[in-house]
Amino acid sequence: MTRDEKLNAIEDLTAQLGDNATIYLADISGLNAVVTSDLRRACFKANIKLAVVKNTLLAKAMEASDKEFGELPSVLKGSTSLMFAETGNGPAKLIKAFRAKTKDKPLLKGAFVEEAVYIGDDQLESLVNIKSKEEVIGDIITLLQSPAKNVISGLKASGGKIAGILKTLSEK
């Protein structure tokens, strides 16, 4: 790569880091071409962008970015794949599901999800359990609807009892 190509790559990576709130770093080294192709296909279906990047270029892009990545640049060793997604738990679920097929890869190196930094493969389960914005909104709506449903069912039940008592009294 020429110096200009490297500068362009760093600028592109910096723009991508700035545009995405969910960034995962994974190690997919050792996967054969067929399995790697399957992973790319699964990422495409899940609306996750997957790219293999050079560690030095990514580290410089992280430095140039406005975001605070904390300890995340420290995991940039060996082969690194970059995953961008709209949902915080999407890549974690994909990695977990894919690992069930391949047994050991991809490995999670680290993640940056909504200003929080996760380091290491042991954080995968925590990341899987993060709820997406849509899931949180659904939970809130369910909680808000619950009292109203209870009141309505109570009124319906009481109305039926009152009607039954009035009918019984009118028949006597």
95 and 163 both lie in a single domain = no
CATH (domain of 89)? 3.30.70.1730
Please state whether the predicted TM-score (pTM) of the whole model is above 0.75.
no
Write out the two tokens for 44: 């495409």
Question: For residues 29-52, b (16+ Cβ closer than 10 Å) or e, as one string?
Answer: eebeeebbeebeebbeebebebee
122 and 136 both lie in a single domain = no
Q: pLDDT tens per residue, the chain (172 residues)? A: 788 888 888 888 888 888 888 888 888 888 888 888 888 898 898 888 988 888 888 888 888 888 888 888 888 888 888 898 888 888 888 888 888 877 778 888 888 888 788 888 888 888 888 777 777 888 888 888 777 676 677 666 666 666 677 677 777 7
71 and 86 both lie in a single domain = yes
Tell me, what's the pLDDT at 155? 63
**16 CB-contact burial (10 Å; exposed 0-12 / middle 13-18 / buried 19+):** middle
32 and 45 both lie in a single domain = yes
Tell me, what's the pLDDT at 108? 86
7 and 70 both lie in a single domain = yes
Tell me, what's the pLDDT at 68? 84
Count the domains in the chain: 2
Domain residues for the domain of 149 are: 132-172
- Residue pair 127/111 in contact by the 8 Å Cβ criterion: yes
112 and 31 both lie in a single domain = yes
DSSP H helices in 103-132: 124-128
- Of the candidates 38, 55, 56, 54, the one whose C-alpha atom is nearest the C-alpha of residue 102 is 38
